[in-house]
């Protein structure tokens, strides 16, 4: 069986296993980002952050080598936490968690770079 | 092994002009033609996917190395598992832990981060694999960097405590209790990561681990992970030795490097029981489309490791190669740099010349 991701459709729920527990995420169509379910109904830090497009100078670390650069944004610049989510096919992805427990797939954080 | 057609012809020409007898020259010409055809065969670009259908990577998921510089270990783990699956070696569902490969490969006094794919594979053959689920459990509440930082912090505290007690003994001749509390705090730290009780090292094991690695932090991590994995270790001694070629010692010619790399990749991806190819390259090429291969031996190169999992012919006749990094399944980051990215897997397509010019070496298992 091949590992193909089930592409997120609008309002389709995606389950990631994070630290042994299943968490529900959803594709927010307005922001075109996969965020924690609570963000879909209420304002949250994850969505507020995505509104700050092109505000961070990422030139010093935005390249492919040692560290996943979007994780650098989450950990070092936003002072949030990274956890690894595993989808139903076993594929891994970094998820950035904020103080209000909202979260967003770390890959989306690249849009806040200039 | 990775000689280009040009190199082979040059070698034969050198021998040809040294031979005196016509018979020998004739035999050499026939042998050369045969060798050249064999080398050239399979060197054309083809539409190949090793991550689909029954390919060796089809059942190996996309990984995310998080914020730790262990790209080489993630490549090694996947090359090993692809080989195990395609050659029907035991326990194919027990995936190799990149974390164990990282700790087994770290030099005794080197910083955590950076290494060689072939060294990681050789160490896996020697020390065995660990089920990835075991180390995933260990890191479930912390990311790798946090885990290493916290573990080393407790280890340093333990050493300081030992030195403090030793000093106190000398001054007072007092017999103190053992470092029970310091060991327990290390054990608690491990438990807080979510590690199940049956995997936790005992206090006696922890004491032994620290004594064996006194002052060498990397050895401490290596011994600790080995102890945690001891009940779920796979014997990998029957893996073949990795085959690697690093071309940094050769005279520099970016286009020749690009041509040579593509010839080799095309052959490796299409041969019988083809395996994914580990590639060490200058990561700067992924963010700078104008990177022409210079410089290749400095920090500006941004040395990185990934896997080539497929190829395709484009409408203009050139070849593109499918690369799998260990940066998860997202495509926003690659697309920011204008890279063609596959939704859902995060794998990226790269033009042959672009990746070929930046290649430092290739590693395979066969």
List pLDDT tens digits, range B136-194.
988 887 777 788 888 888 888 888 888 887 777 777 766 555 567 778 888 888 888 88
Rounded Cα distance between B138 and B99, Å, is: 10
Q: Chain B: nearest CA to A81, how far in angstroms?
A: 9
**How many CB atoms are located within 10 Å of the residue B150 CB?**
16
B196 lies in the same domain as B260? no
B176 lies in the same domain as B205? yes
Q: Is residue B64 part of a domain?
A: no
B270 lies in the same domain as B319? yes
B28 lies in the same domain as B158? no
B166 lies in the same domain as B276? no
User: pLDDT digits over B182-238, tens only?
Assistant: 788 888 888 888 888 889 999 889 888 988 887 788 889 999 999 999 988 989 999
**Beta-carbon separation of A93 and B329 below 8 A:** yes
Q: Which residues pair with residue B249 across a beta bridge? A: none
B296 lies in the same domain as B254? yes
Q: Is residue A105 part of a domain?
A: yes
Q: Is residue B90 part of a domain?
A: yes
| Pair B308, B349: CB distance under 8 Å | no
B170 lies in the same domain as B123? yes
Q: Chain A: nearest CA to B189, how far in angstroms?
A: 16
Domain assignment of residue B6, given as a range: 1-39
Residues 166 to 205 of B: which have CB under 8 A from any A CB? 194
ipTM over 0.90: no
Give the mean pLDDT of chain A: 83
User: Structure tokens of A48?
Assistant: 């507020």
B84 lies in the same domain as B211? yes
Residue A47: pLDDT above 60? Answer: yes
B91 lies in the same domain as B202? yes
Rounded Cα distance between A43 and B72, Å, is: 40
B255 lies in the same domain as B214? no
Question: Looking at the partner chain, which of B59, B302, B343 has a beta carbon nearest the beta carbon of A3?
Answer: B59
B228 lies in the same domain as B249? no
- Report the CATH number at residue B274: 3.90.70
pTM for the structure as a whole: 0.86
Residues contacting B222, CB < 8 A, separation 6+: B103, B104, B106, B213
Last residue of a domain, one of B187, B202, B234: B234
Q: Is residue B60 part of a domain?
A: no
| φ, ψ (nearest 5 deg) of residue A28 | -80, 115
B225 lies in the same domain as B247? no
Domain assignment of residue A31, given as a range: 13-112
Number of domains forming the structure of chain A? 1
**Beta-carbon separation of A66 and B113 below 8 A:** yes
Rounded Cα distance between B119 and B305, Å, is: 13
Q: Is residue B280 part of a domain?
A: yes
Q: Is residue A2 part of a domain?
A: no
Residues contacting A50, CB < 8 A, separation 6+: A31, A33, A104, A108, A111, A112
User: What's the burial of A19, exposed, middle or buried (CB within 10 Å: 0-12/13-18/19+)?
Assistant: middle
Number of domains forming the structure of chain B? 3
């Amino acid at each position: 069986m091949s590992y193909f991701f089930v592409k997120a459709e609008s309002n389709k729920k995606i389950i990631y296993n994070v630290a042994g527990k299943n968490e529900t995420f959803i594709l927010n169509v307005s922001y075109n980002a996969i965020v924690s379910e609570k963000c879909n109904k209420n304002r949250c830090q994850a969505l507020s952050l995505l509104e700050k497009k092109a505000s961070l100078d990422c030139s010093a670390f935005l390249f492919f080598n040692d560290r996943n650069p979007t994780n650098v944004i989450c950990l070092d610049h936003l002072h949030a936490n990274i956890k690894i989510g595993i989808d139903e096919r076993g594929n891994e992805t970094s998820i950035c968690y904020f103080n209000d427990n909202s979260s967003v797939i770390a890959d989306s954080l690249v849009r806040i770079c200039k | 092994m990775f000689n280009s057609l040009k190199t082979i012809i040059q070698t034969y020409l050198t021998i040809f002009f040294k031979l005196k007898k016509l018979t020998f020259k004739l035999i050499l010409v026939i042998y050369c033609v045969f060798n050249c055809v064999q080398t050239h065969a399979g060197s054309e670009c083809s539409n190949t996917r090793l991550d689909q259908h029954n390919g060796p990577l089809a059942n190996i998921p996309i990984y995310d190395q998080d914020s730790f510089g262990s790209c080489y270990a993630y490549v090694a783990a996947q090359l090993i598992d692809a080989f195990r699956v395609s050659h029907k070696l035991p326990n194919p569902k027990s995936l190799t832990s990149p974390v164990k490969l990282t700790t087994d490969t770290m030099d005794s006094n080197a910083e955590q981060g950076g290494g060689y794919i072939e060294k990681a594979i050789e160490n896996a053959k020697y020390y065995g694999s660990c089920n990835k689920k075991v180390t995933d459990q260990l890191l479930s509440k912390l990311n790798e960097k946090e885990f290493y930082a916290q573990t080393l912090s407790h280890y340093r505290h333990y050493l300081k405590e030992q030195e403090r007690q030793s000093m106190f003994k000398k001054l007072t001749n007092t017999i103190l209790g053992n470092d029970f509390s310091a060991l327990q705090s290390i054990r608690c730290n491990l438990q807080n990561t979510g590690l199940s009780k049956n995997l936790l090292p005992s206090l006696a094991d922890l004491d032994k681990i620290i004594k064996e690695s006194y002052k060498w932090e990397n050895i401490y991590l290596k011994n600790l992970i080995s102890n945690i994995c001891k009940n779920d270790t796979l014997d990998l001694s029957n893996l073949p030795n990795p085959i690697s070629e690093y071309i940094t010692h050769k005279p520099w010619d970016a286009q020749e490097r690009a041509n040579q790399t593509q010839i080799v990749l095309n052959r490796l991806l299409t041969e019988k029981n083809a395996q994914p190819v580990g590639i060490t390259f200058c990561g700067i090429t992924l963010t700078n489309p104008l990177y022409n291969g210079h410089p290749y031996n400095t920090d500006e190169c941004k040395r990185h490791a990934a896997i080539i999992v497929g190829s395709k012919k484009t409408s203009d006749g050139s070849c593109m190669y499918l690369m799998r990094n260990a940066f998860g399944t997202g495509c926003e980051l690659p697309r920011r740099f204008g890279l063609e990215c596959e939704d859902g897997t995060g794998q990226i397509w790269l033009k042959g010349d672009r990746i070929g010019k930046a290649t430092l070496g290739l590693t395979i298992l066969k």
